[in-house]
Amino acid sequence: MNQPQRNALYYAFIVALGGFIFGLDIMLISGTHEYTTAEFNLTSLQLGNIAAGPGYGALIALLFAGYFSDKFGRKNTLIVIACLYTVSAIGSAFAPSYFWLFIARLIGGLAFTSLSLASIYIGEIAPARMRGKLVSMNQLNIVIGIFVATLINYFLVNTAQDAPAWAQAILLDEEHVWRWMLGIEIIPAAIWVVLLFMIPKSPHWLMLNGKQQEAESVMETIREPEEAIQEIRDIKTSLNETDHTPSMIQQAQLIFSKPMRIALLIGVFMALVQPLTGMNAMLAFQPMIFQQVGGDSSPFAQSVVVNLVGISFTVLAMLLIDKLGRRFILLGGLSVGAIAMAIVAFAFFNAVYVITPETLSAMGVSASDAMKFAPILNTEFFSDVAIREAVLGTVGEDLYNSVAGNLIISTASMNGTLVFIGIVTFVCAYNFSIGPILWILFSEVFPTKVRALAITGCAFITSVFGGVVVPTFFPWQLENMGAAITFTIYGSMCVIGLVAMASVLPETKGKSIEEIEEALKAKSLS
């Protein structure tokens, strides 16, 4: 690896640290729910708002991220985002009330736009032969952040429970442990702020704003001399030798023009398919899924295994993405993802649910209330929906609500190993393919002059479905449609994505952004 390549790798690594903080942020909060509920006497709706706050913040920020990215530059916008992460972590750790905790979480959500801006910046500074590897660093850092957050929460909770003298001295006890969980994010966020001052401005953004001399200076640090000259020439040609930033209206007109048809189709369709495969739901409710199927291992232990597998396959993706190519990896990942969801759905389709005296005892049902279950005692039900409806219709709403949380866990008889294998396989496929490929394609298929608006627009779609719709409706789907149907839907989305991408997605491996632009334009006009 020559010096320019090392420079590009170094800058990409710094920017991709935002993915690590994102992973920390979305997972650290999962360990705080019990403590914040007790601290602020939260209702279920308030607890849901704290969990969903970053999602709403991200939607707000994405409406403006493209404008700020073009107006003030990728680097400066990323610095502001890193500061928002820091403010959010401080505000969360020292929140005096539910309201302030929600606001602090909302501010953190504004910083979630780091994912789309990192994709823009890394795509613009990475050499064509390294672009896939460098952009996928974002996904690697996300899964590392998630795994580290799981370990941090586990360590902090156990330390608070054991209460050694040193922990008591710093108020690391069961009353304040949730504040440590959220406050630990201050450290990496502050470090990221400092490191971002060391990266250069994007040469594509500099050219977009008529600063060719400065762009050439930056390009010389990340390309060999001949490559630097040629890429500056290609960027200038792509921009049609304009020396100004197109307005949002002009960018929108370009995005929806006929030459951009295929690029827009790829971007929007992948922005929909990726979240609708259900990964965010499985991440947010992973312990609950494992609880439903039972098994000897604890849900926490199973989650640790899944996250470790996720890291290993993300690393594997980084090693192979620029060798195997985007198209091959994406189509392969969607195929494996569909098979994995079919395995999970098959296990749930073949599940049997039976209420026995033993299961009633496990659910904590009193002897007097147990009599009300007599009409359905020892009756086999073949779906989670069927047993819920039977219990509700037999014992009434009040008693049903008291046992609903443990009903499926206590009565289910299924192949839990099959479910675990299916979920692990899907996580492998997602972290190797579906997850990182999205951001790589975003960084490649959109021309420089519309990239900020196009990528943040597609990221907005992904955030709506991945950050709000899918995790919000997952519990509703389980209750009203059943696990088998729910996972079948996720598998179907993999199949739909496979068919669609097989028909429109070209191979972009090893091509410059300008070469990809010309190829997609030709395909759109043909």
Taking the C-alpha atoms of residue 135 and residue 199, their distance in angstroms, rounded to an integer, is 16
16-64 pLDDT per residue, tens: 898 899 888 878 887 787 788 788 887 766 776 777 777 788 778 877 7
Which DSSP letter does residue 448 get?
A: G
The one-letter code for the residue type at 332 is G
pLDDT higher than 80, residue 248: no
Average pLDDT for 341-348:
92
Helix, strand, or coil (residue 380): strand
The mean pLDDT value of the chain amounts to 83
Tell me what pLDDT residue 243 has: 44
CA distance 314 to 325: 15
Mean pLDDT is lowest, of 7-16, 302-311, 352-361, for: 302-311
Name the strands in the sheet holding 380-381, side by side, starting at the edge strand that comes first in the sequence. 380-381, 352-354, 412-413
423, 248 Cβ separation under 8 angstroms: no
Residue recorded with tokens 């990728």: 74
Token representation of residue 187: 């450290």
- First-to-last alpha carbon distance for the chain, in angstroms, is 39
| Strand, coil or helix: 413 | strand
Which residues on neighbouring strands pair with residue 352, listed in sequence order? 413
Given a contact cutoff of 8 angstroms between Cβ atoms, the answer to whether 108 and 199 are in contact is no
* 1-245 CATH fold: Growth Hormone; Chain: A; (1.20.1250)
For the stretch 391-416, pLDDT in tens is 888 888 888 877 776 777 778 788 87
Q: Mean pLDDT throughout 188-194?
A: 93
Residue 293 has a pLDDT of: 62
Q: Which tens digits make up the pLDDT trace of 197-241?
A: 999 998 888 888 888 889 889 888 888 888 888 888 888 877 764
pLDDT tens by residue, 442-472 = 878 887 778 777 887 888 888 788 777 777 6
Indicate if the pLDDT at residue 292 is higher than 70: no
Residue 281 tokens read as 């739901």
Reported as a single tens digit per residue, the pLDDT across 475-515 is 677 778 888 899 999 999 999 999 999 988 888 887 877 78
Whether residue 436 is predicted with pLDDT greater than 60 in this model: the reply is yes
Q: Does the pLDDT of residue 170 top 80, yes or no? A: yes
pLDDT of 242 strictly over 60: no
Diameter over CA atoms, the chain: 84
The model scores a pTM over 0.85: no
289 vs 144: which has the higher pLDDT: 144
Structure confidence at residue 117 as a pLDDT band (50, 70, 90)? confident
**Res. 312: pLDDT tops 80:** yes
